[in-house]
Amino acid sequence: MTHVILSNLTKSFPGNPVAAVNTMNLDIPSGQLVAFLGPSGCGKTTTLKMIAGLITPTVGDITFDGASVLAVPPEKRGAVMVFQNYLLFPYMSVGQNVGFGLKMRGVEPKVIDRKVIEMLDLVKLPNIANRRPRQLSGGQQQRVALARALITEPKVLLLDEPLSNLDAHLRDEMRELILSIQRNLGVTMIFVTHDQEEAVLLANQIALIFDGVLQQYAAPDVFYRQPISERAARFFGGINFVPATRRGERLETAFGAFHVRTPGVENAPEGEVTLTIRPEQVVLNPADDENCTSGRIRSRIYVGTYTRYKIMIGDIEIEATRSGDIDHALNEGDAVRVGFPADRIWVVGRS
């Protein structure tokens, strides 16, 4: 297990005035599974390649267990990268692909053969060592690439969009496999994704990156409860945003004043802000009148496990969801009381 720290990590490419990665500071504890999350082109893979030693930082440092690795070549750094397109050698068998790293280190063939069998068992692909990559499905090729990386016993395992080329069923299987391997081996893992659901399902911590800049680094649930900005909230499916003025625990909006008592909100900005609350946390026809206002149902969509409502409160649209809600459904045009629980409201700066 390896403790990874990125200090003021920056990468600028010639001809581009904007840094691909800009002054990134990140502390990745030993044995954690961390996601680099963000839209395409935000610097996720560039950061991963700098950790692997495939790209040299313009500024900053990378340390493994307190020691800088900038001067350590990729093959000796102990950070192994599994690429999105697998990069298996087509002219080699599966077993030769998996054992390639050990062969380059001069390990005895008998030891390599034993390790190959162990790794293929670990990724749940026994008895395929003699096949060629072209005989495998995409999911199987991804597992072989994973086995090839793990056989070298890396200090840090780096996964670049590991599930993007797989269909939904195989993605579920690979998620379970990655989690199982990480728990069993305790290796520090960092993976790149643009899919927030994937990041939430897999990661202990998520590093949200926009435009080469680290926006927020926290546990998955924090991004839902306490997003750092409206853009971060939208990236995690937030859709309710109401202009407000904050004065301590009081939020003044166009349709009334609300109190907010969410833990940590004391660190939110004062003055002109945006009130945000997730649809599943909005209460329809609440039992009490605290933080309550009146609206009208604009649309109702039954989705199976829940019903989604769009509600007009003055000229502002709010979305709310209710589980099931078949027998006592509210209908389009109905007046409704809308509650914003004080411990579910969050406040972000005005964008």
pLDDT in tens, the chain (351 residues): 899 999 999 999 998 889 999 999 999 999 999 999 999 999 999 999 999 999 999 999 999 999 999 999 999 999 999 988 888 999 999 999 999 999 989 999 999 999 999 999 999 899 899 999 999 988 889 899 999 999 999 999 999 988 887 787 788 888 888 998 898 889 999 999 999 999 999 999 999 999 999 999 999 999 998 999 999 999 998 899 999 999 988 999 999 999 999 988 888 888 999 999 999 999 999 988 899 999 999 999 988 888 999 999 999 999 999 887 665 678 999 999 999 999 999 999 887
Co-location of 237 and 210 in the same domain? no
Among 203, 225, 247, the domain boundary falls at 225
Nearest to 341 by CA among 269, 273, 259, 279: 259
Co-location of 207 and 241 in the same domain? no
Co-location of 211 and 241 in the same domain? no
Domains in the chain: how many in total? 2
Helix (H, G, I), strand (E, B) or coil at 249: coil
- What beta strand segments (E) does 87-180 contain? 156-160
Which residues form the domain of 339? 233-349
Co-location of 15 and 161 in the same domain? yes
Co-location of 168 and 252 in the same domain? no
Among 174, 196, 225, the domain boundary falls at 225
Co-location of 167 and 278 in the same domain? no
Token reading at 83: 């690429």
Q: How would you classify the pairing of strands 188-193 and 156-160?
A: parallel
Co-location of 31 and 147 in the same domain? yes
Angle at which helix 109-122 crosses helix 94-104, to 10 degrees, equals 130
Local structure of residue 269 (DSSP, 8 states) = P
